[in-house]
């Protein structure tokens, strides 16, 4: 190909090179970047952890609190966690400038307080989730601060009373 021909083609095409980072990136509306978990909305239910294909989300209880960890270094940006979250706490952002010098920088943690049974003190689940349950069904309030065992006991007692058993 002659130089003149190449020059003519180049002039016709013009400049195609993107100037990023001195120009906004080419993000399409469909692009999915890192997810963001809203601490004021999350219940700590763990639904997102179960659905996350590469286990980028993990949840663990230390006996004192419950920590939901997001390791963006393993996330495949599928958005399934946002779809499944019952609280609508997960937002898929367009963030892609996630480079870091250490993998520790890629971890974000959300710490939930653990609620305890008011009778025996056994851990029940996160306070945020219990609040959400009461909000959805106010009748649950009486039973909410109990572990499953004491909840059963109290319920059985309430039924027995209604059936005419003698109160204490």
User: Which tokens in the block code for residue 73?
Assistant: 């270094």
SS3 13: helix
Give whichever of 45 and 130 is closer to ligand SF4, judged by the CB atom.
45
Site for ligand SF4 in 50-79 (CB under 6 A): 51-54, 56-57, 68, 75-79
Q: Is 114 in the site for ligand SF4 (CB under 6 A)?
A: no
Q: Token pair 């999350």 is at which residue?
A: 42
* Binding string, residues 26-45; x marks residues near other proteins by CB under 8 A: x----x--x----xx-x-x-
Give which of 138, 144, 150, 142 is closest to 125, Cα–Cα: 144
Residue of 6, 7, 8, 53 that binds other proteins (CB under 8 A): 53
Site for other proteins in 69-128 (CB under 8 A): 71-77, 96-113, 126-128
CA 126/CA 111 separation, integer angstroms: 10
């Amino acid at each position: 190909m002659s130089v003149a021909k190449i020059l003519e083609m180049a002039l016709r095409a013009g400049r195609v090179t993107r100037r990023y980072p001195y120009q906004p990136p080419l993000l399409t509306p469909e692009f999915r970047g890192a997810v963001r978990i809203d601490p004021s909305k999350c219940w700590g239910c763990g639904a997102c952890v179960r659905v996350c294909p590469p286990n980028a989300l993990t949840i663990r209880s230390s006996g004192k609190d419950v920590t939901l960890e997001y390791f963006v270094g393993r996330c495949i940006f599928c958005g399934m966690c946002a779809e499944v979250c019952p609280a609508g706490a997960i937002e898929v952002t367009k963030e892609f400038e996630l480079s870091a010098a250490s993998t520790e920088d890629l971890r974000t943690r959300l710490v939930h307080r653990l609620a305890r049974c008011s009778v025996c003190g056994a851990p029940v689940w996160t306070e945020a989730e219990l609040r959400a349950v009461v909000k959805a069904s106010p009748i649950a309030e009486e039973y909410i601060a109990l572990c499953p065992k004491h909840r059963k006991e109290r319920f059985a007692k309430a039924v027995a009373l209604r059936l005419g058993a003698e109160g204490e």
